[in-house]
A = this chain, B = another copy of it.
């Protein structure tokens, strides 16, 4: 998986062109579930911009059709989705992976998700829920920390140790449950184990009661480009059952998806 090392040469981070573009994207990202409609002042505060700067960007976004305003409150328009769609449609694999994932969900009766790594996070690119599970409201594009998730630890395992350590150290490692491993050396060992096994099981480290197991999606060059997981409730599916019964089906599905690459 490619890393996000900034390129050498122009533009430098201080370049006004970079800065104005970065600020524009920052304004887009300032809209959220808790702030779906914002005033000019709210956008400025959330993006760390002056009122004048925020106004210029909001009017630019409005001119381009990405934002609408009633005169006072600004909201994003669905045109924003075109940007994420550009990414998803540039990875046609997920459309073809969906039937494989649906068959797996039918077989194991647990939810299945696919994710990729971005810096210290995993980002969901596909999700097939099962009916009977508690509803986890994580759609495409949502993020979770890599250090405490099965998908994340497995995806980290494709990087070299130096890079893994750097990303773990850059992570905001919180004891989210009493089981969460937060020590960097202990996490390095978990990632090494995932690398040896080529799968990873995480038991209630992200959330009490949540258990998941991940398998790699590997391209023709042998690089892990994404990972697939099954997640369920720990009180219904033990780690033993997940590993012995569901993991073989998951490994099989991940292999099928890899062959689509």
The answer to whether residues A76 and B87 also contact, given A9-B59, A59-B10 and a CB cut-off of 8 A, is yes
Q: Which B-chain residue is minimally distant from A142 (CB atoms)?
A: B85
Please tell me if the beta carbons of B92 and A36 are within 8 angstroms of each other in the complex: yes
The answer to whether B141 and A85 touch across the interface, beta carbons within 8 angstroms, is yes
Number of copies: 2
A and B contact pairs by CB, cutoff 8 A, 30 listed? A2-B68, A4-B77, A6-B62, A6-B63, A11-B63, A13-B63, A18-B63, A20-B20, A20-B21, A25-B83, A28-B83, A31-B86, A31-B89, A31-B90, A32-B89, A33-B90, A35-B90, A36-B91, A36-B92, A78-B87, A79-B123, A80-B86, A81-B88, A81-B123, A82-B141, A83-B84, A84-B85, A85-B139, A95-B137, A98-B137
3 nearest A-B pairs in the assembled complex, by CB-CB distance: A84-B84, A85-B141, A81-B141
Size of the A side of the interface (Cβ < 8 Å), in residues, is: 77
Of the listed residues A29, A35, A66, A83, the one surrounded by the most CB atoms of chain B closer than 10 A to its CB is A83
Residue A220 CB within 8 A of the other chain? no
A102 at interface, CB cutoff 8 A? yes
Asked if A224 is an interface residue, CB under 8 A from chain B, the answer is no
**B residues in contact with A17, CB < 8 Å:** 20, 56, 60
Q: In the assembled complex, which residues on chain B have CB atoms less than 8 Å from the CB atom of A11?
A: 56, 59-60, 63
Give the contacts of A107-158 with B (CB-CB under 8 A): 116-119, 123, 125, 131, 135, 137, 139-143
Residues of B within 8 Å of A131, CB to CB, are 102, 106
Query: Does A48 reach chain B (CB closer than 8 Å)?
Result: no
CB contact between A82 and one of B9, B29, B36, B94 (< 8 Å): that residue: B29
Q: How many whole Å from A139's CB to the nearest CB in chain B?
A: 6
A19, closest chain B residue (CB)? B60
Interface check A222, CB cutoff 8 A: no
Select one of B89, B95, B140 contacting A81, CB under 8 A: B140
Chain B residues with CB under 8 Å of A92's CB are: 33, 36
Q: How far is the CA of A57 from the CA of B22 in the complex (A)?
A: 11
A24 to B15, CA, bound (A): 15
The reply on A241 being an interface residue by CB < 8 A is no
Is the CB of A248 closer than 8 A to any CB of chain B? Answer: no
Q: 7 additional contacts, CB 8 Å, given A80-B84, A81-B88?
A: A7-B63, A25-B83, A33-B90, A35-B90, A77-B87, A83-B83, A106-B131
